[in-house]
Structure formats: structure tokens, C-alpha cells
Amino acid sequence: MEFLGVSGALVALVAAFCLLILLLILIFCWWVSPILKQKKLKRCGIGGPTPSFPLGNIKEMKRKNSNNIHSSIVSSNLTHDIHSNVFPYFSTWQKSHGKVFVYWLGTEPFLYVADPEFLKKMSSEVIAKRWGKPSVFRNDRDPMFGSGLVMVEGDDWVRHRNIVAPAFNPLNIKVLASMMVESTNKMIERWATQINSGNPEIDVEREVIATAGEIIARTIFSMKDNNARDVFDKLRALQMTLFKTNRYVGVPFGKYFDFKKTLEAKKLGKEIDELLLSIIEARNKNNSLNKENSQQDLLGMLLQENQHKKVDGKVGKALTMREVVDECKTFFFGGHETTALAISWTLLVLALHEDWQNQLRDEIREVVGNNNMLDVTMLSGLKKMKWVMNEVLRLYPPAPNVQRQARDDIKVDNLTVPNGTNIWIDVVAMHHDTELWGKDANEFRPERFKDDVNGGCNHRMGYLSFGFGGRMCVGRNLTYMEYKIVLTLLLSNFSFKVSPAYNHSPSVMLSLRPTYGLPLIVQPLQQI
């Protein structure tokens, strides 16, 4: 009995000791190490708001956010000066800490950058494959992007990029146009029916996102309706679920705050992976049977590029089937909402600027003519539409920020950004900065892009709609085509006015979206 008592005490002692060690480790990781990192950045002269443990600056960010939701702007007189609405905390901190400072998500320090010159100097030190993506986000969004192109780093990124980028070449993309026309025409018929039934108010954002989702599902897999819908619904559900859990990124054990949602996301992610894997495997079998007849869609093109890599004798360079699944998901999440939002914000701005609505219609009549049978080769003639697109992407960038993580110490002038630092680039701030664009920075003026692809921005790193450097968006050309097709068809059939029900309050839900939807009054045109 006594013996047992002694050993029991011993066990308790050892356990207590282990617990103490664990506690010390945790304190070091969550408290001491972040403080050291902060000290290091401070020594370099980078300031920022004071963080608290363990939430960092999250509390302040949330408070500023909820304050703002009620101060929405009257729709009849709305402003494009949205930065203080979209990122109220950054807008406030900029005033006291400048355009480069450090803030904290939980115990993770982030270097905030809204200064293109700083960005230029920093990125001239780092080639594309040496950039990291913040581990906190990579883990959090793993069910969405996995190891798809958006998230991979280093040599893996080079390998992925070399296979994915050629799949998006202009010849391949052209083949996808007819699916875009088909899906858009279906939406147009739906709208016409609704208007005929006496209700001309249409939530354009919801409609266009649904259509863009259908388009991306069909351009990836050529799947008609039901199958595409199934994958689409699951992928959307995943995004919704994840965005409920995203609020505590960077906080220790943050993902357990909303454990049910985290589990749900994991489960959905798994279902999607299996669904996609079975589609791809069926496709692969088919392809080895008839090599000539590979399907004309993004997956087919990707598998084709992948096949070339294998034929080169370098099997190790090809993508595994898991990686192909992740690329498909990446195209889905990276490709449909962004494009849909570019189109939706354009419809809003055109509803506010009737003159531009008419100018674009005139251009469409001249370049494309009156027929509903769009000829893709003519799209490049839509010059004004391209200026409008660039200007809308400037004022309402669907990807409102770009993230990086330093994988080495980076020297910028006389300061050093330490290895491991997360970097958060504020695209909205730069796109609305009067020091970069002039006094009219917050006005809609597409002609600024007339003779200058940089829109007259006085710094070439000040316009970042599609990112920068070697990691620039691979889907750009696909987006240009989809934007022009959808807008051409819509403007040929309808005119647009802002609905009195519209509440102008852009906010970030992964992408930059209208918080309360985007109701417009849509009227059929007399045939133009």
C-alpha cells in the first residue's frame, strides 16, 4: 500500500513536471517568441498598434467592423471611397502608423503594406518561388485550396505553375466561349421571365455568381447541369462553412472555438475530394483508351499538359491525381466569385453612370453587331469595355488583399523583414490612394486606362488587381473573355438602374462583396 502511495506521488510529480514544461513551451511559442519578433521589427523602425494576448488586435478589428455596419451610405448618392468602410481598422491605423506597420492576428504578427515603393523594393529581393504563403491561412483554407497553385511554394510551385499556366493558353480558352454564352443566355431568359411577371428588381450579384459558378463548373469538367450543380453546391457550402470559422485565424486553438464548423468543413472537403477524384479517374481511363479525343475543358487541358510532362520522361515532374483535384478546387474558388464580382460591380457602376452604359452599348453594336451568336475573335475590339473593367477592378478589387510570408530575412533599405513574417498587402488602400492616382482617385473615370495599362498610376506597383510578380493570376485571360461575353450579352438585352433597396456597403468575405446583395432595376431594351 505504502509502495503504491509513493509511486503514485512520483507519477503525480512527473505529470506535474511535464505539464509545467508544456506550459513553458506554450508560453514561449505564443507569448515570448511573438514578442521577440515584434521587438525585432520595432528595432527596425516599424511601429503599429499594441497587441494583447492571446487575440492580438483581433478585438479592435472586430469592434471597428461592427460599428461600421450601421453607417451605410445612401444609395442615391453613393461614394466609391470605400477603404474606410472595407478595412476600417487599417484606415485608422494608417493615420497613426503610416503605410507600413505591424499588427497581430492572435499570436501571428502581420506586416501591413500599402506603400507600392516598399512593395517594389521588397519584391525585388525575392523571386516568385522564394515567396511563402502565410501558414495560418494555408492551414485554415486547406479544405478549399489544398496544395493547389494559389498555396504551394518553392519548387513545388514551379512544377505546378509549369503545368497549369500552359493549360490556360489563348487557343485552349477560346474553346470554352460557347459554354459561357449558353449559361449567360439561360440567365437572360430567367431575367426576362421575371421582368415579364412584373418584378424588375433583380439581385444581380446572386444571379451572376450562380451563373459564373455554372460556367466555371462547366469549363472545368464540361459537366451539364445536374452533375455540375452537385459539385458546385458542395463547394459553395464549403466556402460558407469556412467563412464562419475564419474569425479566429492565428489565435491558439482558434479553430476549436467553432469546432462543429471545422469538422463540417473537413467532412465537406473530403466529400468533394472523393467526387472529383472519381471524375478524374474516369476521365483518365477514357483518355488512355482514346488519346485523340481528350475533352475540351480545363481538366482535359490540365491532364494533357500533365501527360506531356510524363512523356518527357520526367514522371516526377507531373502532378499526382490528388494535386489535380486540388487544382480543380483552386480554379473553382479562385475563378468564379472573383469574375462574377467584377461583372456585378460593373453593373452597379454602369447603373450609376448611364453615359458609360450607352457608350458600351454603342461599342458593342459597332464591334459585335446585333447577333446573339458571339464571335470570340471580335471581343478584343471592345476597347472601352476593357477600360471599364480595369477601372472597376481598381475601385472594387474582387481580391482586396494579397498575402505573402517571408521565407528568409528580406532587406528593404535599412530595415530587415525577418524570416517567417506574414505580409498583408492592402490592395484597396493602394487603388484609392490620391497620392498615387491624383485627386480623382475615388471617381469612376475609365478613360484613365485609355493610353496607359497602369491607368495613370504614378507607381507601377500601385495597381494590383491580379497580384504581382511571377505569382500573377493565371486565370486573367479566362476572366477577360468571360467578362466581355457576359457583359456584352447583358448590355445587349437590358438597361440597368440602381434599386432604391440597394445598400452600398462593400465588405470582405474572402472577396470584396456587396454586404446586402446588389439589387438593380432591370429593364428589357428595344432590340438595338
Tell me, what amino acid is at 309? K
Residues numbered 161-220 forming contacts with ligand HEM, rule: CB under 6 A: 161
Helix (H, G, I), strand (E, B) or coil at 490: helix
Pairing of strands 108-113, 422-426: parallel
Asked if 126 interacts with ligand HEM (CB under 6 A), we say no
Query: Contact at 8 Å (CB) between 164 and 477?
Result: no
Residue among 17 and 189 whose Cβ is closer to ligand NAG? 189
Which position has the grid cell 471545422?
A: 262
Q: Annotate 233-257 with b (16+ C-beta within 10 A) or e (fewer).
A: eebbebbebbeebbebbbbbebbee
Q: Does 154 bind ligand NAG (CB under 6 A)?
A: no
| DSSP strand pairing (201-203 vs 401-405) | unpaired
* Residue 161 interface partner, choices ligand NAG, ligand HEM, none, CB cut-off 5-8 Å depending on type: ligand HEM
Planar angle of CA 350, 430, 146, nearest 5 degrees? 90
- Separation of first and last alpha carbons in the chain: 98
Q: Which stretch binds ligand NAG (CB under 6 A): 88-96, 322-330, 474-482, 496-504?
A: 474-482
The number of beta carbons lying within 10 Å of the beta carbon of residue 78 is: 17
Please give the residues from 310 up to 369 whose contact with ligand HEM meets the rule CB under 6 A.
330-331, 334-335, 338-339, 342
Minimal distance, residue 67 CB to ligand HEM, in Å = 28
In the block, cell 456584352 appears at 488
**Is the preceding omega at residue 54 within 30 degrees of 0, hence cis?**
yes
528/515 Cα distance (integer angstroms): 34
| Total binding residues toward ligand NAG, as defined by CB under 6 A | 27
Least CB distance from residue 430 to ligand NAG, whole Å? 20
Residue 353 has what DSSP assignment? -
**From the list ligand NAG, ligand HEM, none, which binds 188 (C-beta under 5 to 8 Å, kind-based)?**
ligand NAG
Which residues, listed in sequence order, are joined to residue 422 by a DSSP beta bridge? 110, 405
Pairing relation of β-strands 506-509 and 494-498? unpaired
Q: Which does 394 bind (CB under 5 to 8 A by kind): ligand NAG, ligand HEM, none?
A: none
* One residue of 39, 244, 260, 476 binding ligand NAG per CB under 6 A: 476
- Which segment (97-105, 112-120, 414-422, 424-432) binds ligand NAG by CB under 6 A? 414-422
Site string for ligand HEM, 381-420 (x = CB under 6 A): -----------------xx--xx-----------------
Q: Among ligand HEM, ligand NAG, none, what does residue 455 contact (CB within 5–8 Å per kind)?
A: none
Non-local (6+) Cβ contacts of 325 within 8 A are 146, 273, 276, 277, 280
Q: Which amino acid is at 190?
A: R
Among 235, 343, 474, 491, contact with ligand NAG (rule: CB under 6 A) = 474
Is 283 a binder of ligand NAG (CB under 6 A)? Answer: yes
Task: Compare residues 262 and 488 and give the one whose CB is closer to ligand HEM.
Answer: 488
Could you tell me if 297 and 304 are in contact, meaning their C-beta atoms sit under 8 angstroms apart? no
* Residues 229 to 288 in contact with ligand HEM, rule: CB under 6 A: none
**Quick one: which of 150, 176, 518, 522 contacts ligand HEM (CB under 6 A)?**
150
Q: Which does 477 bind (CB under 5 to 8 A by kind): ligand NAG, ligand HEM, none?
A: ligand NAG
Q: Using CB distances below 5 to 8 A depending on partner kind, what does residue 381 bind out of ligand NAG, ligand HEM, none?
A: none
Q: Per rule CB under 6 A, is residue 369 in the interface with ligand NAG? A: no
Neighbours of 176 (CB within 10 A): 24
Give one word for 395, left, alpha or beta, with left for phi > 0 and alpha for psi -120 to 50: alpha
Using CB under 6 A as the binding rule, whether residue 286 contacts ligand NAG is answered as yes
29 annotated among ligand-binding-site residues: no
Grid cell locating 324: 489535380
By DSSP bridging, strand 494-498 and strand 519-524 are antiparallel
Q: Residue from 12, 19, 282, 453 that binds ligand NAG (CB under 6 A)?
A: 282
Amino acid at 88: P
Q: Residues with Cβ < 8 Å from 166, sequence gap 6 or more?
A: 305
- Interface with ligand NAG (CB under 6 A), residue from 330, 493, 495, 499: 493
Stretch touching ligand NAG by CB under 6 A, among 241-249, 412-420, 449-457, 509-517: 412-420
Sign of CA dihedral 402, 403, 409, 415: positive
Shorter beta-carbon distance to ligand HEM: residue 161 or 266: 161
Q: Minimal CB distance to ligand HEM: which residue?
A: 475
Q: Which three cell numbers stand for residue 175?
A: 474553346
Q: Which region, left, alpha or beta, applies to residue 74 given φ > 0 means left and ψ of -120 to 50 means alpha?
A: beta
Contacts of 16 (CB under 8 A, 6+ apart): none
Would you count residue 127 as binding ligand NAG (CB under 6 A)? no
For ligand NAG, the binding residue among 8, 45, 154, 369 (CB under 6 A) is: 45
What number of chain residues touch ligand HEM (CB under 6 A)?
Answer: 23
Are 212 and 186 contacting, i.e. CB atoms less than 8 angstroms apart?
no
Select from 119, 188, 367, 399 the one that contacts ligand NAG (CB under 6 A).
188
Site string for ligand HEM, 450-489 (x = CB under 6 A): ---------------xxx---x-xxx--xx----------
Among ligand NAG, ligand HEM, none, what binds residue 434 when CB lies within 5 to 8 Å by partner kind? none
Helices and strands (H, E) in the chain, number of each type: 21, 11
The residues binding ligand NAG (CB under 6 A) are 45, 77, 79, 168, 170, 188-189, 192, 282-283, 286, 290, 293, 370, 372, 407-408, 413-414, 419-420, 474, 476-477, 492-493, 527
Binding-site residues from annotation: 473
Binding-site residues from annotation for heme: 473
The residues binding ligand HEM (CB under 6 A) are 149-150, 161, 330-331, 334-335, 338-339, 342, 398-399, 402-403, 465-467, 471, 473-475, 478-479
